[in-house]
């Protein structure tokens, strides 16, 4: 079923609900690192499952040349890691940390870190937005992927917002950063949907693998450090729980 732009906008908005809710919670309610780390572990499991079950496996089966598909996966990961390394040197390394375990830098500590954090936070959302747009075009409504992105964004926004405030950032600044990410994510999702219509199925599959690689790198470099800092008990089990939840949703919705 081919979706209309209105429907694409609706599902794009659904995917960013976690950002909106998480930012609100992070600004007005403070959580301990112990609590945040567990939610980040759960989100990591969800997003890793989304990258593998919903993106990589399906796309790898459709690419014309399997090894080129793996190349696309690795380029996505390398591209994210390269961008993350550049921004980390400017002060964005700990943009998803809650501040209790590892403090985010203030503008006084590292001048220009606010811009780096803004760019880094936006970069984190790019893989999700693009692959969602592509998937909405090629497969229609993918409930597991949309839920994984929405639920994965929730603790990211909570932890990032708490850490930003702890570093002395103003509430208005935090709202503007996440508001910009929200709007940018919706726009990129729509562009991904429109762009997919101009590409071959093979190219779309390669782009999905590229997005999957970037998503796995993003989870590894921004969510997992917060989730496993101080080695909270059962973090690995919580990651697996998030993975299992998406697997269950996939099975329950595969015939819908």
Contacts 24+ apart (CB under 8 A), 57-65: 58/208, 59/205, 59/206, 59/208, 59/209, 59/212, 60/205, 60/209, 62/201, 62/202, 62/205, 63/202, 63/205, 63/206, 63/209, 64/202
- What's the pLDDT tens digit per position in 111-145? 999 999 999 999 999 999 999 999 999 889 999 99
| % residues pLDDT > 70 (the chain) | 99
**Tokens 């659904």 identify what position?**
14
For the chain, the domains span 5-251
- What's the pLDDT tens digit per position in 69-109? 999 999 999 999 999 999 999 999 999 999 999 999 999 99
At residue 31 the predicted structure's pLDDT band, cuts being 50, 70 and 90, is confident
pTM: 0.92
The CA R_g of the chain, rounded to the nearest whole Å, is: 17
């Amino acid at each position: 079923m081919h979706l209309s732009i209105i429907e694409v906008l609706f599902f794009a908005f659904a995917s960013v609900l976690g950002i909106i809710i998480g930012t609100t919670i992070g600004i007005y309610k403070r959580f301990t690192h112990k609590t945040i780390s567990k939610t980040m572990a759960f989100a990591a499991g969800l997003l890793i499952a989304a990258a593998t079950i919903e993106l990589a496996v399906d796309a790898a089966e459709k690419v014309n040349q399997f090894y080129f598909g793996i190349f696309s996966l690795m380029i996505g990961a390398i591209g994210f890691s390269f961008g993350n390394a550049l921004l980390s040197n400017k002060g964005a390394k700990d943009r998803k940390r809650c501040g209790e375990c590892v403090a985010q830098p203030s503008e006084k500590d590292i001048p220009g870190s606010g811009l780096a954090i803004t760019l880094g936070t936006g970069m984190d959302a790019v893989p999700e937005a693009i692959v969602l747009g592509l998937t909405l075009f090629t497969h229609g409504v993918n409930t597991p992927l949309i839920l994984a992105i929405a639920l994965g964004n929730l603790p990211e926004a909570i932890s990032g917002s708490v850490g930003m405030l702890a570093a002395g950032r103003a509430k208005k600044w935090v709202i503007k950063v996440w508001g910009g990410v929200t709007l940018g994510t919706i726009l990129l999702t729509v562009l991904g949907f429109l762009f997919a219509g101009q590409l071959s199925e093979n190219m779309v599959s390669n782009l999905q693998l590229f997005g999957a690689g970037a998503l796995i790198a993003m989870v590894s470099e921004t969510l997992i450090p917060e989730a496993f800092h101080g080695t909270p008990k059962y973090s690995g089990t919580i990651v697996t729980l998030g993975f299992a939840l998406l697997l269950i949703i996939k099975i329950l919705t595969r015939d819908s």
